[in-house]
Structure 1
């Protein structure tokens, strides 16, 4: 069992960042891992895209106008942000830090560029890169999904090549050749990081 408390009270949670190329299976791995980690919560993103009928404010997303989003960026209230399909998405700093302070682990599922932004502001963030078993396997998954045109798939694959070249920047790499095994590997990482002795908690100076 890992400690729930540090010497000064509640032990802060860890910021877990899951990233990887489009089509690698981040969403499924995320949901399986969350179901097995009761002390880990999924970050709720801010977005400027229109709310869909089934979506709930503050549960699925925080919905904001472009002007409101720009103000959040300017005030440094986003851990990371990106533009996708004509809309802006970002991670609210206060929401994440409040939950970390309460002892919860917070999971972010974001793009590689966003993960690099998080690392710049939170060097202790636990960055996990989810890789396909091979580039050809990723290509097959994207075509099998049937949600994108061939041109869009080609764009995703070019971006995936760039992202795979940057996986050395991350603390952990999980190869998703079996989604159940990949999810359990993520769970093991979460548990291991929770047990890790942190220098500031052990009396050491960094």
Structure 2
């Protein structure tokens, strides 16, 4: 499902209290990834916040975020077509697994139900649709969050250390699952992490930031 999306970070510069955190010019093509590594305070999560349109007011930012030829600088993620995957799956406890997955899908009916069930089966969660998220393991919740992200049809994806709270075996499994699906969907992806194994799995452009 390669949809040929492109994300361009044009002359991005982030600062706080007059100190530059990062400067960046980069284009990420369909199914490609950019990994930004660095310690806490180096600006990597601030970069995601700027792209997603919720950079705190104490930061200064310059530059443009261009998605599929359109300037989305400052546009909130829910209106810009940017999908987010965080350390915590952030599932809605009052919704079933299927309800969580449906949350980002427009419309309804049998076709959506079929799509949800097929997507869950694709990540090893066949028959889990009516389950309460609280009954799932950490790895299963991470898979539900991934399916919800993919079925929302994002045009670009931001990953904020999404594997850091999983154990070693699950981390390796989820890395493969996430990056294989994002490549297949043709979605440009930005990953921020402090883990070299994450960067290796992403198999894309790597930028290392230093502590400030």
TM-score (norm 2): 0.34
TM-score (norm 1): 0.35
Higher helix share: 1
